[in-house]
Structure 1
């Protein structure tokens, strides 16, 4: 059938269509009936032509309504926290603004298969590794130790030359054939970046080719010497794949020279750091390897350079040795490295340590910190039967079989928290675990030096349950003497210690023990305790714990930061491989702590001596001013710290201030009792509702208005999942307001006069209706209701006291909730639940803050003056205890200007701006100091402050004593380890056997490492303390002496201070400037 017409394109208007359009400018005309410009498009029948005809049309109703709204805009809505002004308020900018939590990025967790049950027969995934572990482990170890010796060659001569030179040298890179010194140098003229080892009679010690006299000629062919060489700098350094080398370099200076020095280096394959007078180069292979690692492994230049340093020398000294490389490898026999500064009876304690006087018992306390990390997860991949660890339980992880069986027998546990600050931890038992075999790890460390304790790490299956922590804690105590006192730091110690003794008796026989609580003190880390309740801060504070010194308990958090770098790689590992890898990382952590422990103790002791002097001077001045009160305060402290029986009376806590003033309920009861006495005397009543009931009704309505305003803001921000029926709340509020108006006609008729003058609109919300309570009356209207004003004033004072106490409590909870969400909420469901809890708490913070501000304004109106007992609450005052005030823009500008003029400013000059403070000068908000105290209560405030100052002085005195004792224990513990290696080396049965010789050499090498640590620790301890900005340039200690290493020892080119820390280039430049 033929088409009768041409089809229209898609979207084209039909013939004769009409359209009406208008712009926003036309809508925004001042006249409501102004016509609109419209047009009609007419299309011809053949669809080829279109004609547009314009018309004037009357505006439709939506346009007219929009124009009316624009011509008569509604008044702006009232502020949320200020009712429709019955009383002028000049402090609206100080109202608290709720920080409603926003969406976070959540982690995506993929589905995984279920881990097989342990009692089902399974095939080992890696059969070869299982066979090696059970049959060939010792054989491999014997061969590895055999390599440390001369492999049976004894004192034979060199096989490469005809001379009878002793064969004492071997190359660790191109082969381990024993040759003489001459042949060794000849072999390495073209390989100057190899590591050479020399037999010193006991073991092989590493020496450099530079010390043997090998020189590298630039600008000529291999083995061709220059007739006029130009020596490079004596500290010429080459970065290579196997470490950092100091090399003798000669540049070409003869008539054949054609290239600059840096070109000669580039032709050799060495990339110079500078083109003028180069003294540091990196090989092309090194740069290519770093480039690949930075792209694939996201490694930084700092970490890569640190790797080269460890390849050069792993024990923390220069020139290098190979000891640390053995510890860093994934060894099949990795044991725990013990802390050399912690007390160990029969190792580093004096024989009469148990008879120490009470003031010296702090020297013999073992400090243990416990915490959990939920970053070290493991997916449900493989199992212990398929992937057993090579030595799980030999170092830091607990024995997994005993641990697994015990957890299977405990079942589901629900720990109830009675600490308000720990409400967020109730979610720990519901920690997201779907798809994970392990949700994290719990660990025990040495709280003072941050060493991971032996058998002190265990996996968590579902949250931070007491069963896991109990087992790990008991496993650690196997390696600690029962005669030592313990101080246990745990962020939930206030809950965990309850019934701990009974729970430990139910552990397996391997770790079962009975605790003596008189020998244990439970504390909470100094940062975490700020989010606990006031009772926890008084009973579990390290500031008040006898013998704690300046231990903060937060060192384990620094270890978690290190573990975060390996969390991604271990998440997808099998259980055995993961345990071996983490054991290796923690062993390396402990060894680096051992190497740097002397420097750490020196820094701490220097700082403690200065701070003790400052605190003692301040305390002496304070005590002199309060000399008549000090004896009574001191007696109160001694009584509180004295041992007491379980059934004895609880002494008064000298660090706790009693609550001053009555609360709202108490004040109401007092006023109602006064009214009852007046009626009993025959006084007439003017209304069935008493004056006290009238005033309390107004205050209750005012509180209801604050609550509705906050809930309305939550609902508008869509920051809560709860359904809020504001209509019902407003209906009930309107009924209460109507009842209040009836009573105001009797007791405060002036309020109705003021309301008539305000002319409140009919559509105002109930929460914004002005109440005009007695304190809001104008001065002319107050004269007729003096008795009503006298009733409101004590109620307002009580409201201020209660509001500030409630505000402190909500801020406590806020700090804990935010810390919990940051550390533990990892997926969408948890983040949503955490946001809801945080937002509800924010609404309570605002409600309490608004209540205090409103009540204080009412007090100002009632008294006519500022109430001294109740300071003004500003927005910057509403912060948690450990928060710092937000600096003003002017203060920030001043700080920036001071930084720009740093060179012109004097060293050590301090800013006089009180609004910018670091943590060391942080001042807590006044709300944490208490409020509402009368003059008679000032003595109690002085007592609390004096007791805290006394505690600070004693803690610093204890810190100095503890550090001095740790200095005494350090070399003794290192000597103990050196003697153990010496004994192992001397107990080899057959010294003539090649393998036995390797064992002896290995033992002697380890002995020398510990002896060298002792020597360096003594240098660090006795060196002169330098001023700030200066560093001591000393020659690096060598593992072997000059006569042992076979070469001349030269002074290292890098600046190393007396603490064993290598200075950066910026520090060296600052030192040079200071010296000049």
Structure 2
């Protein structure tokens, strides 16, 4: 026979005859064949070539009583297309059912009675995974398979979309039951309880599974470690149109996974859904105020609500449900109490909700509506309501103090935003799920949430590792900041510090007490800022018009005046830069007059300087010679005239050490006073920015505010330059005089250090990661501070920042403790779950040896998966305890990076 056939799916491009090709494809009947017609290759099916598939017998064994599948084609949906096959079922006396024969060859039948369509396990696995990762719909995937079979419509189309839709839904459901161990229960699938098929969070506290003995009698300071963190949210992308009905399309799971049991839920809503909802007393939350007015035209469900694990992002069992009229309390109450029923023994509960400030009001009264077995004894539990960090700024100021994750103890670094991260994964599926009937949508979303939870579970190891590697250094850094700030303030405000400590302690344990984070003193006004700037300018002008020095001058006056002249030089440079290219004659004349006055003062001071440091004459002669060679007027311009203070001389000529000591003292005082001035300017700048954003409207007002801001910015830059000059002089003098220790207090001033109390190194750093700039940790030096630090407004700002610095240190400390506790809980849970699966091996004894062996094999495989995960996580975390011990001991010279890598 002529070799004119080839297979597109086999390895290579060998040409075969019909007989050889059929013989080689007895076990691969779904390959695609091409035939050479003398001009090109055209598609040919194995059925057309005479291949018939015999089911119910081993390979090569013919059935004596074969039963043809159907009179026309039997269709099999496979990963490479939709195929018509010639199929014979076994008709022997002991033959299995036709559906069972199909399952034996890993083909899933579309019906149990006289099936005419089947889908291979391979295509179902592929579609199942793609639906999770790419959110491809059944319709899109099936059409892609049809195009793989025929792109031009030459072959008669065998439409099996409805059958494939049914098969995929059954496949999802059976996979969920199988993975939950329901096939190992001798009571059957009907014995499945609500929530039994959900993938649980190993890191959350689960009594009887992963909590250490004695957890319920832990001391109060440790009880928060065994608390549950839940996050509530609604997703308005996951709506559903009015398609089909509950009777025509019921859900298959009936509350077995994440959606609540639908009949009980609908019965509850029937009684309470139409009750009006109280309006919000906080900011204009659409979720609250628009709940009764939400448009429901053409929609059976406007959204879904969920209850998640707030720490790890798992969907909680029986915590998902449809919303019919927006985000109404009546819906969310039911979902929350339904999800919390399996955590009843826990004593500590942290609840995160973007409208928690409104929702928690009268919650315990509304609890009476849900089934009695779900009720919570709130009087015996420590329950805290919080608002997610990203949503909190939209609330009024009072809510930002009372419901903040950043201010409350016992939450670590939890942010409450985990539902938002899950929405990013499920939202692409909304375009297909909104067109489904009620049961189909519930089953599909249940399946997606199950996959989401499983992916979260297998990645808990690297997630916890990454968080610990981040949390321990952050904890140490914020502890150092808090300790340094506390020591600095204790020397200045010894009496106030004790009262601040007492106030914050009282508020943490009783939030009805005065809030230490609340601003109680009126802030400065913009008019006050303008007045202060005007006073600064007046002082600068009056200083520049002082008469030349004369008479008897002491060394201290000489050095003090020289430092003052140096400051006048910097101011003159700034004023000259402001003129620009198009300055008026009046402006130029005013600047020239200031320069002349400064030049006269400098000339007088320089003559007196010669009496104390004669050698400066030779240094100036050298500078004058260099100026003539460079054709520069260096010595003629007052802003560049070399004053040659002891720090600038650096003992190039003889200089009395007493003068160096005097300059050191003046420079140290100048540095501290300049830092005080810089802090005041930054506070003014911060207030003005907030004031402008909140209250300034209109071009004229914005222009005036912008001009005021420019003046403050200039003040900040000038003050920074003044400090840097003082620091440079101190650096030089410290080498000459042998001064040590001062650099730990007066540090080099980098651009990133010049920031307000409430500003981090960069805008991307959140409140919990923000570190205070060192300039706020230095106490004032002289008695003539630029700012009055006994002023109530200054003390208020310092008190609030001290409280926030303290809270950041405590939050990172709690985060470390919580992460190590979660590590242990994960390992205990995986160990418990492996044991649970092994108990399932012999939980159901059947007469069929093959089925019994399959039950045992699957249970052992699942137990091994949990054990492998446990070993992987243990190996991944093996050095974390050592890393923590080294951080706690504060050992020097140990590279923590080496520990993490080995």
TM-score w.r.t. length of structure 1: 0.43
Counterpart contact for 2:490–2:497, Cα < 8 Å: no
Cα offsets for 1:865-884 (capped at 9, x unmatched): 97899999xxxxxxxxxxxx
What is the CA distance between 1:540 and its match in structure 2? 0.5
Kindly report which structure 2 residues correspond to 1:520-919, keeping only aligned pairs within 5 A, or say none.
520-628=383-491, 629=493, 632-633=496-497, 635-642=499-506, 650-660=512-522, 846-847=697-698, 851=701, 854=704, 917=762, 919=764
Query: Would the alpha carbon gap of residues 243 and 1003 (structure 1) be closer, same or farther in structure 2, given more than 3 Å must change?
Result: closer
Kindly report which structure 2 residues correspond to 1:357-506, keeping only aligned pairs within 5 A, or say none.
357-410=219-272, 411-420=274-283, 422=285, 425-506=288-369
Cα offsets for 1:188-242 (capped at 9, x unmatched): xxxxx9xxxxxxxxxxxxxxxxxxxxxxxxxxxxxxxxxxxxxxxxxxxxxx989
Please name the residue that 1:987 is paired with.
843
What is the CA distance between 1:980 and its match in structure 2? 1.1
Cα offsets for 1:12-37 (capped at 9, x unmatched): xxxxxxxxxxxxxxxxxxxxxxxxxx
Query: Would the alpha carbon gap of residues 589 and 626 (structure 1) be closer, same or farther in structure 2, given more than 3 Å must change?
Result: same
Query: Would the alpha carbon gap of residues 661 and 963 (structure 1) be closer, same or farther in structure 2, given more than 3 Å must change?
Result: closer
Counterpart contact for 1:344–1:481, Cα < 8 Å: no
Q: Give the unaligned 5+ runs of structure 1.
A: 1-172, 180-192, 194-239, 245-284, 296-321, 665-800, 813-843, 873-909, 1028-1057, 1059-1070, 1072-1076
Matched, 1:1006 2:862: yes
Please name the residue that 1:167 is paired with.
none
Query: Would the alpha carbon gap of residues 329 and 808 (structure 1) be closer, same or farther in structure 2, given more than 3 Å must change?
Result: farther
Cα offsets for 1:246-265 (capped at 9, x unmatched): xxxxxxxxxxxxxxxxxxxx
Kindly report which structure 2 residues correspond to 1:1031-1050, keeping only aligned pairs within 5 A, or say none.
none
Please name the residue that 1:1017 is paired with.
873
Q: Distance in 1 between matches of 2:876 and 2:477?
A: 25
Matched, 1:946 2:791: no
What is the CA distance between 1:988 and its match in structure 2? 2.9
Counterpart contact for 2:233–2:354, Cα < 8 Å: yes
Q: Distance in 1 between matches of 2:876 and 2:146?
A: 35
Q: Distance in 2 between matches of 1:921 and 1:481?
A: 34
Cα offsets for 1:799-835 (capped at 9, x unmatched): xx999999969968xxxxxxxxxxxxxxxxxxxxxxx
Tell me the C-alpha RMSD between the 2 structures.
5.0
What is the CA distance between 1:510 and its match in structure 2? 5.3
Q: Distance in 2 between matches of 1:242 and 1:457?
A: 26
Aligned residues: 517
Query: Would the alpha carbon gap of residues 492 and 355 (structure 1) be closer, same or farther in structure 2, given more than 3 Å must change?
Result: same
Please name the residue that 2:765 is paired with.
920
More helix by share: 2
Q: Distance in 2 between matches of 1:582 and 1:356?
A: 39
What is the CA distance between 1:346 and its match in structure 2? 2.1
Cα offsets for 1:15-68 (capped at 9, x unmatched): xxxxxxxxxxxxxxxxxxxxxxxxxxxxxxxxxxxxxxxxxxxxxxxxxxxxxx
Once the two structures are overlaid, the 10-residue window that deviates more, 983-992 or 492-501, is: 983-992
What is the CA distance between 1:539 and its match in structure 2? 0.7
Query: SS of the residue aligned with 2:697?
Result: helix
What is the CA distance between 1:517 and its match in structure 2? 7.8
Query: Would the alpha carbon gap of residues 984 and 524 (structure 1) be closer, same or farther in structure 2, given more than 3 Å must change?
Result: same
Q: Distance in 1 between matches of 2:288 and 2:688?
A: 21
Matched, 1:342 2:204: yes
Cα offsets for 1:937-987 (capped at 9, x unmatched): 212211111110000000000000000000111111011111111111133
Query: Would the alpha carbon gap of residues 650 and 348 (structure 1) be closer, same or farther in structure 2, given more than 3 Å must change?
Result: closer
What is the CA distance between 1:660 and its match in structure 2? 1.4
Query: Would the alpha carbon gap of residues 243 and 614 (structure 1) be closer, same or farther in structure 2, given more than 3 Å must change?
Result: same
Counterpart contact for 1:365–1:487, Cα < 8 Å: yes
Which residue of the other structure, out of 793, 805, 812, is the alignment partner of 1:956? 812
Q: Distance in 1 between matches of 2:849 and 2:481?
A: 69
Query: SS of the residue aligned with 2:290?
Result: helix
What is the CA distance between 1:604 and its match in structure 2? 0.6
Q: Distance in 2 between matches of 1:994 and 1:467?
A: 50
Kindly report which structure 2 residues correspond to 1:18-167, keeping only aligned pairs within 5 A, or say none.
none
TM-score w.r.t. length of structure 2: 0.50
Counterpart contact for 1:485–1:520, Cα < 8 Å: yes
Counterpart contact for 2:283–2:396, Cα < 8 Å: yes
Counterpart contact for 1:549–1:956, Cα < 8 Å: yes
Counterpart contact for 2:412–2:811, Cα < 8 Å: yes
Counterpart contact for 1:341–1:966, Cα < 8 Å: yes
Q: Distance in 1 between matches of 2:204 and 2:178?
A: 25
Cα offsets for 1:1015-1065 (capped at 9, x unmatched): 1111111168999xxxxxxxxxxxxxxxxxxxxxxxxxxxxxx9xxxxxxx
Q: Distance in 2 between matches of 1:353 and 1:920?
A: 35
What is the CA distance between 1:640 and its match in structure 2? 4.2
Query: Would the alpha carbon gap of residues 471 and 497 (structure 1) be closer, same or farther in structure 2, given more than 3 Å must change?
Result: same
Please name the residue that 1:974 is paired with.
830
Cα offsets for 1:288-330 (capped at 9, x unmatched): 969969x9xxxxxxxxxxxxxxxxxxxxxxxxxx999975999
Query: SS of the residue aligned with 2:254?
Result: coil
Query: Would the alpha carbon gap of residues 633 and 398 (structure 1) be closer, same or farther in structure 2, given more than 3 Å must change?
Result: farther
Query: Would the alpha carbon gap of residues 517 and 489 (structure 1) be closer, same or farther in structure 2, given more than 3 Å must change?
Result: farther
What is the CA distance between 1:1000 and its match in structure 2? 2.0
Query: Would the alpha carbon gap of residues 490 and 564 (structure 1) be closer, same or farther in structure 2, given more than 3 Å must change?
Result: same
Q: Distance in 1 between matches of 2:467 and 2:352?
A: 20
Cα offsets for 1:317-360 (capped at 9, x unmatched): xxxxx999975999998700110011112221122213323332
Counterpart contact for 1:336–1:395, Cα < 8 Å: yes
